[in-house]
Structure 1
Amino acid sequence: MNLTHSPGDRRSALLVIDMQYDFMPGGALAVADGDALVPLINRLGRQFARVIVTQDWHPAGHISFADSHPGHVPFQTITLPYGPQTLWPVHCVQGSDGAQLHEALELPHAQLILRKGCNPAIDSYSAFLEADRTTRTGLSGYLREHGIETLYVVGLALDFCVAWSAQDAAREGFNTYVIEDACRAIDLNGSLQAAWQAMGELGVQRIQSQQLQHA
């Protein structure tokens, strides 16, 4: 595969999604094997001149929490004013230990840490748009102002925040690659297969980390 821009090209960036303790084994919304990604993401990060990190950052009582909806339990789907919403266990509450980035994540040259899900009334999987699909995070403008044209996306969880971010990146016109072995999925009711299909339809490329070794 010919990559649009190699990792060392300043027109490309590594987008690291939600490598936080609540998504690690033992966390409130654990993704199996999530902590195993840290060494690989650190190695990938050293290949990139530009790195951006996202951090789920919910206020207490967030609308996406099952506890905020009496009579409901985690992983149910309800309809909110902006559309369907999967209800989650309480996770990544602002300032909590579970919301912190994994301490072994070594990306000292990351230029931006983007916090999302801060609006108490709207969830936000994507690094570009909140779940109402109109409220922007500002990431698209940041990338354009810095001359970035190609994104390589890694992190957690593949079938939710990674997939939504990758799809929105493609919609915004960025060349978008998801590094499959640098992600892990929740796979809730077929969500992983659906995510790959949706990403593919938008032209998101599925690659492995070894394809970047000699890029």
Structure 2
Amino acid sequence: MTTRIDYRRQDALLVVDMQNDFCEGGALPVEGGKALVPGINAEIGAARAASALVVASRDWHPIDHVSFEHRGGSWPVHCVQDTSGAAFHPGLDYNDDTIRVSKATAFDADAYSAFDGTGLAGYLRDRGIERVVVCGLAMDVCVKATALEASREGFAVVLLAGLTEPVDPEARDRCTRELEADGIEVHQ
């Protein structure tokens, strides 16, 4: 499989929330989620070959998280800490060098961006990262929030649009336009 990006040492590939609960068969599935795995693995391989960082974000909710419907939130129970639903999709080529970032870990606060309350921006700057390449799930929720926050944090941002799927299929074009308007490079 051909990769979409020529990676450099100053890049980070940020794979957003490729967790079992967001793939088909999970508690909050995004149609087409599982089909992204081979393409994402190709990107992981290319990033590693160029000595770029590979970062994997995940929802890591406590059992009674504020985002859950029974607490008045918008979502069904999903990605509860230490459950199989919160685990990364088993087909992903993550290894011991993959940086894992857990978000939305507090009972009373939600977080969509991998940068929200995680210290990720500072960590990437400390490592000399200049560009963040984003893919994963879901395009119209956590992927969009992560890409926008990476841009606000001063990183050049590339969205791999072919390696993300939205919760709402009709949101794809709207998200693409919004991200491009923010200066984010979108690769199909």
How many Å separate the matches in 2 of 1:111 and 1:31? 23
How many Å separate the matches in 1 of 2:61 and 2:98? 22
How many Å separate the matches in 2 of 1:123 and 1:196? 24
Q: How does 1:35-54 map to 2 (within 5 A)?
A: 35-48=34-47, 49=51, 50-54=53-57
Aligned length: 180
How many Å separate the matches in 2 of 1:15 and 1:109? 15
Deviation at 1:55, TM superposition (A): 1.1
How many Å separate the matches in 1 of 2:151 and 2:57? 18
How many Å separate the matches in 2 of 1:87 and 1:124? 13
The answer for the alignment partner of 1:95 in structure 2 is 82
Larger Cα Rg: Structure 1 or Structure 2?
1
How many Å separate the matches in 2 of 1:192 and 1:67? 29
How many Å separate the matches in 2 of 1:6 and 1:109? 23
Deviation at 1:109, TM superposition (A): 5.7
With 87-96 and 191-200 compared, the bigger mean Cα shift is at 191-200
Aligned with 1:149 (options 123, 127, 130): 130
Q: Which amino acid aligns with 1:205?
A: E
Q: How does 1:12-161 map to 2 (within 5 A)?
A: 12-48=11-47, 49=51, 50-69=53-72, 87-108=74-95, 110-129=97-116, 136-161=117-142
* Gap regions ≥5 residues in structure 2: none
Deviation at 1:193, TM superposition (A): 3.9
Deviation at 1:6, TM superposition (A): 3.3
Give the % identical residues: 41
The answer for the alignment partner of 1:6 in structure 2 is 6
| Structure 1: 4+ residue segments shifted above 4 A | none
Q: Does 2:152 align with 1:171?
A: yes
How many Å separate the matches in 2 of 1:154 and 1:166? 9
How many Å separate the matches in 1 of 2:103 and 2:55? 13
CA contact (8 A) 1:58 1:120 kept: yes
**SS across alignment from 1:118:** coil
Deviation at 1:191, TM superposition (A): 4.1
* Gap regions ≥5 residues in structure 1: 70-85, 130-135, 209-215
Q: Does 2:182 align with 1:195?
A: no
**SS across alignment from 1:14:** strand
Q: Which amino acid aligns with 1:200?
A: E
What is the CA deviation profile of residues 155-207 of structure 1, one whole-angstrom value per residue up to 9, with x for unaligned ones?
A: 0001110000000001111000000111111017x544443233122101110
How many Å separate the matches in 2 of 1:195 and 1:128? 19
The answer for the alignment partner of 2:162 in structure 1 is 181
The answer for the alignment partner of 1:213 in structure 2 is none
How many Å separate the matches in 1 of 2:25 and 2:70? 19
* CA spacing shift, 1:110–1:166, aligned 2, 3 Å: farther
How many Å separate the matches in 2 of 1:96 and 1:194? 33
What TM-score results when the alignment is normalised by the length of structure 2?
0.90
Alignment root-mean-square deviation, CA: 1.6
